[in-house]
């Protein structure tokens, strides 16, 4: 994470058909036409963060005043490696994750996408491998910021409960 102390606490949002070429710091740009939300990293590093909106990527909720993105934003490919949630235009900072946990999360994402798109496969196409939990995926489920989020009702709690069902030592 950026150590300059420039961590943002809030974002405003703008709905637009096209994402502007010049992004302003502190603004989440949302294109429903292209199912994408884009912002500059909230740590202040200035890197562009693109979050595709889809059933297998991020979901955006808008309550008429504020926006929320789910799941969290984990900028693991950026030098800052920042990790945060966007809820009701507020930034909720999360702890860092180990590389092992990041890799497990990416693997789990690929498997969930494969399972989602499996229903769209042509008959006779090869099936993706089953989702297997690993020690690293257990680290994700036990991360303090994730455990905190479990207390909330809604789709994230349901997803986490479902993911935990794949672990041999799941806590639900």
Query: Which residue, among 110, 47, 52, 54, has the nearest Cα to 76 in the 3D structure?
Result: 47
Question: Do the Cβ atoms of 89 and 67 come closer than 8 Å?
Answer: yes
In this prediction, residue 146 carries a pLDDT of: 46
d(CA 68, CA 102): 22
For 1, the 3-state DSSP assignment is coil
| Residue of higher predicted confidence among 7 and 74 | 74
Mean pLDDT rounded to a whole number for the chain: 78
Domains of the chain by residue range: 12-93, 99-164
pLDDT digits (tens, 9 = 90+) for 103-153: 888 898 888 888 888 766 666 666 655 555 444 444 555 554 444 444 445
In this prediction, residue 124 carries a pLDDT of: 67
Question: Do the Cβ atoms of 52 and 31 come closer than 8 Å?
Answer: no
In this prediction, residue 108 carries a pLDDT of: 87
Q: What is the pTM of this model?
A: 0.66
On the CB side of 23, CA atoms within 13 Å amount to 23
Percentage, residues of the chain above pLDDT 70: 65
Confidence class of residue 170 from pLDDT cuts 50, 70 and 90? very low
Cβ-in-10-Å burial (0-12, 13-18, 19+) of 144 comes to: exposed
Number of neighbouring beta carbons within 10 Å of residue 26? 15
pLDDT digits (tens, 9 = 90+) for 37-66: 999 999 999 999 999 999 989 999 999 999
Question: Do the Cβ atoms of 39 and 31 come closer than 8 Å?
Answer: no
| Residue of higher predicted confidence among 26 and 5 | 26
In this prediction, residue 8 carries a pLDDT of: 79
Cβ-in-10-Å burial (0-12, 13-18, 19+) of 119 comes to: exposed
| Residue of higher predicted confidence among 27 and 171 | 27
d(CA 92, CA 152): 14
Question: Do the Cβ atoms of 115 and 132 come closer than 8 Å?
Answer: no
């Amino acid at each position: 994470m950026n150590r300059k102390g420039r961590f943002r606490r809030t974002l405003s949002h703008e709905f637009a058909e096209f994402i502007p070429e010049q992004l302003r710091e502190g603004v989440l740009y949302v294109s429903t036409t292209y199912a994408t939300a884009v912002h500059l990293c909230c740590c202040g590093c200035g890197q562009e963060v693109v979050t595709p909106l889809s059933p297998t990527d991020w979901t955006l909720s808008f309550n008429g005043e504020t926006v929320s993105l789910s799941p969290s934003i984990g900028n693991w490919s950026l030098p800052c490696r920042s990790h945060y949630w966007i809820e009701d235009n507020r930034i909720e900072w999360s702890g860092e994750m180990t590389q092992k946990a990041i890799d497990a999360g990416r693997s789990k994402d690929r498997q969930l996408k494969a399972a989602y798109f499996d229903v769209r496969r042509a008959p006779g196409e090869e099936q993706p491998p089953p989702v297997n939990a690993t020690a690293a995926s257990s680290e994700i489920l036990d991360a303090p910021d994730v455990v905190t989020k479990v207390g909330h009702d809604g789709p994230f709690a349901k997803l986490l409960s479902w993911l935990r069902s794949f672990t041999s030592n799941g806590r639900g």
